[in-house]
Structure 1
């Protein structure tokens, strides 16, 4: 019986490389043996006639927001000049730890920047799509929702219902039919 799901270190010899054991993700083959390329947990994926040897890192996720990335964030505080957010995802990758971010009043829309009212664009609890701007402050990312595809993608009404967009600047509660102002993202279906 094979020993599976054990912890290894980089360079550790794991298995004999033969027809029954094939090198997979996080491993390499040398001189007839399979070795680990990183510290982590060995996982043996059994297939019909062989087993693929993989190593998955136990380290914390290494991905961080970079300028130009599209991120998903949750609005936490809204003031007259900015809103504070917590970045939850980068693209399709869910983060293991949140990152603090801010959307400044001038970065909400591409036009009519002076007429933007933050409370009419975002509310605490809203989920937004935003683009990461170049870093100017340590420990805080600056975000922009100035593109049509960026802005609020999910919001909840006072009654707790998920609101639906009715225009580029309003969302409506499906239960009470009350409309609330938001900077609504124009969500584009995949493949377009």
Structure 2
């Protein structure tokens, strides 16, 4: 093991390997190496084989599995939609760094999805749930629940926000274009 109980560490410092311990609070798995997310003191739980960090200062807001985030679609590629994560829903504090989220086509909604562009388009504002945090600034997301999905759709023709006209359909009030989306039950339009 690389560190001992009580050692002071900085973000990114190697703490050990996943063959010895499970990453716990304020740590992450970096291809088998367990690293610190924050500056603080190492805490080792030998009974449960866990390693965590006790933060030295007031803890920053960090994404974790199960968090519901708000974000904007940056790019839609064949099997993935990339999301700029703007924040955690209902959190009064902002994220300390910019997170990039990814929604795999299998996590877009329940059931079969033929084309991801039928569910998301660049500029759409979305609500998604974190399924996995990878490293310090990347997360896998899902929108396969009713309240998750597109909160505000942006027209691909004139870039105006669109109005909901059906369960999966939106219409631009500016140019009249109709498009499909994975619409959240909380759609704002």
> Residue by residue, what CA displacement relative to the aligned partner does 1:99-132 show, whole Å, maximum 9, x if unpaired?
01100000001222xx331111111111100000
Q: Would the alpha carbon gap of residues 116 and 145 (structure 1) be closer, same or farther in structure 2, given more than 3 Å must change?
A: farther
Q: Tell me how large the CA RMSD over aligned residues is.
A: 2.2
Q: Which residue of 1 aligns with 2:97?
A: 97
Q: Secondary structure at the match of 2:127?
A: strand
* Structure 1 position 134, deviation (Å): 2.7
Question: Unpaired runs of 5+ in structure 1?
Answer: 1-58
For 1:92 and 1:68, locate their aligned partners in 2 and report how far apart those are by CA, in whole Å. Answer: 13
Aligned length: 128
Which TM-score applies when normalising by structure 2? 0.61
Cross-structure match for 2:144: 146
> Residues 60 and 96 of structure 2 are in contact (CA less than 8 Å); yes or no, is this contact kept in structure 1?
no
Contact 1:103 1:143 survives alignment (8 Å): yes
Compute the displacement of 1:188 (Å): 8.0
SS in structure 2 of the partner of residue 134 of structure 1: strand
Q: TM-score normalized by structure 1?
A: 0.61
Aligned partners of 1:60 and 1:96 also within 8 Å: no
Give the structure 2 partner of residue 163 of structure 1. 162
Gaps of 5+ in 2: 1-56
Measured in 1, the distance between the counterparts of 2:160 and 2:183 equals 17
Partner of 2:80: 82
Deviation per residue, 1:12-36 (Å, 9 max, x gap): xxxxxxxxxxxxxxxxxxxxxxxxx
Once the two structures are TM-superposed, the CA of residue 160 in structure 1 deviates from its matched residue by 2.8
Moved over 4 A (4+): none
Distance (whole Å) between structure 2 residues aligned to residue 185 and residue 129 of structure 1 = 8
